[in-house]
Structure 1
Amino acid sequence: MSLLDDVKSRLDIVEVVSGYTSLTPAGRNLKARCPFHSERTPSFVVFPERGSWRCFGACAEGGDAIRFVMKAENQNFAEALRTLADRLGIQAPSRRAQEAMNPLLRANEEVAKFYHKHLVDSEEGADARAYLEKRGVSTETASAFGLGLSPTGWEDMKNHLAGQGFTDAQMLQAGLLHRSEEGRTRDLFHGRLMFPIKDDGGHIVGFGGRELDGGQPKYLNTPQSPLFDKSTILWGMDVASEGIRLKDEAVIVEGYMDALMAHQHGFTNVVASMGTALTNQQVEHLTRLAKSYVLALDADAAGQEATLRSLKSSWKGVDNVRIALLPIGKDPDDLIRQAPDRWPDVIASAESKIDFFFRLLPPRYDLTTTEGQRTLTEELGPLVLDVQDSTEQDRHLERLGELLGVNRHTLEEVLQRQRQSVLRAATAKGQRQRGPDEPPKVQVAAAAFKQDQLEAYSLALLLRDPELKEVAEALQPEFFHESENREVYLKWAECSIIEELRELMDTPLREHLETLVDREFPSMDQKERTEALAHCVRRLEERHLREVRTQIATALSQAIEEGDDPSQVIEELRKQDERLREIHSTRVRRGF
Structure 2
Amino acid sequence: MSLSPAFLDELRARTSLSTLIGRTVKVQKAGREYKACCPFHNEKTPSFTINDEKGFYHCFGCGAHGDAIRWMTDQRGLPFMDAVKELAAAAGMDVPAPDPRAAKRAEQAKGLHDAMAAAQAFFEEQLGGIEGAEARAYLQKRSISDATRRAFGFGYAPDSRGRLKAALKDFGEPMLVEAGLLIAPEGERETYDRFRGRLMLPIRDIRGRVIAFGGRILGAGEPKYLNSPDTPLFDKGRTLYNIDKASPASRNSGRIIVVEGYMDVIALAQAGFADAVAPLGTALTEHQIERLWKMVDVPVLCFDGDSAGQKAAIRAALRALPLLRPGMSLAFATLPPGQDPDDLLRESGAAAFEAVLIGAEPLVDRLWKHEQSAAPLDTPEQRAALKQRLRALTDAIADADVRAHYVQIFRQRYDALFFARSAPGEQQRAPRGESRPGWKRDKRGKWQPPVPPAGGEARAIGATGMEQRLLRAVLAGLLRHPEQVALHRETLLTLSIADPLLAQLLDSMIAASFSKETVESDGLLTILGQGELYNMAKGMLRADTFTITPYSKDGDAGRAQRDLAEVVRVMAQGPELERELAAATQRVMDDVTEDNLLAQQRALTAHRDHLIRLAELVQPEEHM
TM-score higher than 0.5: yes
Paired amino acid for 1:222: S
User: Taking structure 1 as reference, are residues 71 and 370 closer, same or farther at Cα in structure 2, changes over 3 Å only?
Assistant: farther
Paired amino acid for 1:241: S
How far has the Cα of 1:109 moved from its partner? Answer: 0.5
Match of 1:381 in 2: 391
| 1:561 is aligned to 2:531 | yes
Q: Deviation per CA, 1:560-587: give whole Å up to 9, x if none.
A: 53627999xxxxxxxxxxxxxxxxxxxx
Structure 2 Cα separation of the partners of residues 99 and 379 of structure 1: 51
| 1:138 is aligned to 2:145 | yes
Structure 2 Cα separation of the partners of residues 191 and 273 of structure 1: 23
User: Taking structure 1 as reference, are residues 395 and 414 closer, same or farther at Cα in structure 2, changes over 3 Å only?
Assistant: closer
Match of 1:329 in 2: 338
How far has the Cα of 1:388 moved from its partner? Answer: 2.9
Which of 355, 373, 376 is matched with 1:345 structurally? 355
How far has the Cα of 1:243 moved from its partner? Answer: 1.1
Which of 188, 193, 198 is matched with 1:192 structurally? 198
Match of 2:379 in 1: 369
2:117–2:210 CA contact under 8 A, matched in 1: yes
Structure 2 Cα separation of the partners of residues 378 and 223 of structure 1: 40
1:556–1:566 CA contact under 8 A, matched in 2: no
Greater Rg by CA: 2
Match of 1:150 in 2: 157
User: Taking structure 1 as reference, are residues 133 and 93 closer, same or farther at Cα in structure 2, changes over 3 Å only?
Assistant: farther
Match of 1:75 in 2: 78
More deviation, 367-376/74-83: 74-83
Q: Identity of paired residues, percent?
A: 33
Q: Deviation per CA, 1:48-88: give whole Å up to 9, x if none.
A: xxxxxxxxxxxxxxxxxx999957974313235459989xx
User: Taking structure 1 as reference, are residues 10 and 114 closer, same or farther at Cα in structure 2, changes over 3 Å only?
Assistant: closer
User: Taking structure 1 as reference, are residues 242 and 555 closer, same or farther at Cα in structure 2, changes over 3 Å only?
Assistant: farther
**Pairing 1:42-191 to 2, within 5 Å after superposition:** 74-81=77-84, 91=93, 102-122=110-130, 124-162=131-169, 165-184=170-189, 185-191=191-197
Name the count of aligned residue pairs: 380
Higher RCO, 1 or 2 (CA under 8 Å, sep at least 6)?
1
Q: Deviation per CA, 1:162-204: give whole Å up to 9, x if none.
A: 0xx1111000100111122334311011111111000000110
1:401–1:411 CA contact under 8 A, matched in 2: no
User: Taking structure 1 as reference, are residues 111 and 296 closer, same or farther at Cα in structure 2, changes over 3 Å only?
Assistant: same
1:397–1:411 CA contact under 8 A, matched in 2: no
Paired amino acid for 2:119: V
How far has the Cα of 1:262 moved from its partner? Answer: 0.8
Paired amino acid for 1:345: A
How far has the Cα of 1:389 moved from its partner? Answer: 9.1
Structure 1 Cα separation of the partners of residues 329 and 535 of structure 2: 24
Q: Deviation per CA, 1:526-565: give whole Å up to 9, x if none.
A: xxxxxxxxxxxxxxxxxxxxxxx9xx97994554536279
Paired amino acid for 2:228: T
How far has the Cα of 1:274 moved from its partner? Answer: 2.3
| 1:286 is aligned to 2:300 | no
Match of 2:615 in 1: none
1:192–1:211 CA contact under 8 A, matched in 2: yes
1:354–1:383 CA contact under 8 A, matched in 2: no
Structure 1 Cα separation of the partners of residues 314 and 531 of structure 2: 39
SS across alignment from 1:229: coil
Structure 2 Cα separation of the partners of residues 289 and 311 of structure 1: 18
SS across alignment from 1:194: strand
Structure 1 Cα separation of the partners of residues 304 and 319 of structure 2: 19
- TM-score w.r.t. structure 2 length? 0.53
Structure 2 Cα separation of the partners of residues 180 and 357 of structure 1: 45
Structure 2 Cα separation of the partners of residues 125 and 216 of structure 1: 20
**Pairing 1:422-571 to 2, within 5 Å after superposition:** 556-557=526-527, 559-561=529-531, 563=533
Paired amino acid for 2:126: H
How far has the Cα of 1:373 moved from its partner? Answer: 2.6
Structure 1 Cα separation of the partners of residues 83 and 141 of structure 2: 42
Structure 2 Cα separation of the partners of residues 73 and 561 of structure 1: 42
SS across alignment from 2:294: helix
Structure 1 Cα separation of the partners of residues 536 and 236 of structure 2: 42
SS across alignment from 1:313: helix
Paired amino acid for 2:383: Q
Structure 1 Cα separation of the partners of residues 299 and 492 of structure 2: 28
Structure 2 Cα separation of the partners of residues 218 and 420 of structure 1: 51
SS across alignment from 1:207: strand
Paired amino acid for 1:194: M
SS across alignment from 2:213: strand
Structure 2 Cα separation of the partners of residues 84 and 114 of structure 1: 28
User: Taking structure 1 as reference, are residues 80 and 115 closer, same or farther at Cα in structure 2, changes over 3 Å only?
Assistant: closer
Paired amino acid for 2:178: Q
1:235–1:274 CA contact under 8 A, matched in 2: yes
Structure 2 Cα separation of the partners of residues 208 and 554 of structure 1: 54
1:365–1:373 CA contact under 8 A, matched in 2: no
User: Taking structure 1 as reference, are residues 136 and 226 closer, same or farther at Cα in structure 2, changes over 3 Å only?
Assistant: same
How far has the Cα of 1:244 moved from its partner? Answer: 0.8
User: Taking structure 1 as reference, are residues 397 and 143 closer, same or farther at Cα in structure 2, changes over 3 Å only?
Assistant: same
SS across alignment from 1:149: strand
Structure 1 Cα separation of the partners of residues 216 and 142 of structure 2: 13
Match of 1:253 in 2: 259
Match of 1:539 in 2: none
1:235–1:271 CA contact under 8 A, matched in 2: yes
- TM-score w.r.t. structure 1 length? 0.56
Structure 2 Cα separation of the partners of residues 278 and 566 of structure 1: 46
Structure 2 Cα separation of the partners of residues 320 and 405 of structure 1: 30
Match of 2:417 in 1: 403
1:7–1:90 CA contact under 8 A, matched in 2: no
User: Taking structure 1 as reference, are residues 348 and 562 closer, same or farther at Cα in structure 2, changes over 3 Å only?
Assistant: farther
Structure 1 Cα separation of the partners of residues 8 and 258 of structure 2: 40
1:559–1:565 CA contact under 8 A, matched in 2: no
Paired amino acid for 2:181: L
Structure 1 Cα separation of the partners of residues 381 and 523 of structure 2: 41
